Structure 1
């Protein structure tokens, strides 16, 4: 059985580009051109240390999941690019990836995470709720309602980061 491992990667790495192309194609399939006017292009350096991070999970050298964060505001980082290979979904991979991103963010000095997901991603909503993210929207409404004015189709979440108890003995390395 192959060993899975997390690896920090440059957001511009050639091996990452087909994965990101697939992720954006999946978004287009799900939403059509709904978000076409909402996209912002982030320079790759926003996802590099010390303020940002791009992480992949590999299995036998193949990228099976991705996730990233970038600075959002103050001590808050924004999670982006959460993706898991379609054939491996439902196995807790995204959960472990988000948890790993949170650990890195704590080490980088962040105290809160922010993220958005689209109104047609109920599985993502369930994931973030299960990880303790607080919704900035009514979870009991039909999510399609958030695609119409005055909304912009994005479902917002936040989470206060809490360093593990083992950080208490690290003194200056404890960032929260």
Structure 2
């Protein structure tokens, strides 16, 4: 399906549209995992250029998706994908793929050579999406690396 009315904007992580999208994501994760959503420490400034970015997708003017990347490690080559979410109104319309490509482009433009991410086994559609978009399993890392059900993926840009 076409996303001709899709606009992807870089916004601060603390912008109202970003906050609303992340709240929806965390509510979904909370329901799936019977938790508060995601306990991974996140500082809004981690998504500030040039060490990160946060993108919000708007379909016909309404926010329907988001994702951010932040620097990972000290080599300046790795971006960690965080807070990837597509609202129900944006699903099956190419929004997630467009946001992921925009995140990868942003990270590449900032000199990153690889994107990594954590997800979980209770998000089978996310796992299928990442696999379909060229991501491969990597050793678990990050906040949830020792938790059962964590799944980590990476892709060379």
Q: Give TM-score scaled by structure 1 length.
A: 0.77
Cα offset, 1:2, TM superposition: 7.4
Q: Which residue of 2 aligns with 1:141?
A: none
Q: 1:107 aligns with which of 106, 109, 130?
A: 109
Instruction: Name the SS of the counterpart of 1:12 in structure 2.
Output: coil
Q: Which stretch has the larger CA shift, 71-80 or 15-24?
A: 15-24
Q: 1:153 aligns with which of 146, 149, 154?
A: 149
Q: Which residue of 1 aligns with 2:69?
A: 69
Query: Which structure is richer in relative contact order (CA contacts within 8 A, separation 6 or more)?
Result: 2
What is the number of residues matched between the two proteins?
A: 148
Structure 2 unmatched runs, 5+: none
Q: For the residues of structure 1 that align with 2:45 and 2:9, how far apart are their CA atoms?
A: 17
CA offsets 1:23-63 (integer angstroms, 9 cap, x no match): 11111111102x77x71322111011001000011123211
Q: For the residues of structure 2 that align with 1:22 and 1:102, how far apart are their CA atoms?
A: 23
Query: Would you tell me which structure has more helix in proportion to its own residues?
Result: 1
CA contact (8 A) 1:2 1:60 kept: no
Cα offset, 1:100, TM superposition: 1.0
Cα offset, 1:151, TM superposition: 4.1
RMSD, matched Cα: 2.2
Q: Give TM-score scaled by structure 2 length.
A: 0.85
> Following superposition, which runs of at least 4 residues in structure 1 exceed 4 angstroms of deviation?
none
Q: Which residue of 2 aligns with 1:19?
A: 21
CA contact (8 A) 1:135 1:157 kept: yes
Instruction: Name the SS of the counterpart of 1:116 in structure 2.
Output: strand
Query: Residues 2 and 109 (structure 1 numbering): CA distance in 2 closer, same or farther, change over 3 Å?
Result: closer
Q: Which residue of 2 aligns with 1:133?
A: 135
Q: Which residue of 1 aligns with 2:58?
A: 58
- In our comparison, the structure showing a higher alpha carbon Rg is 1
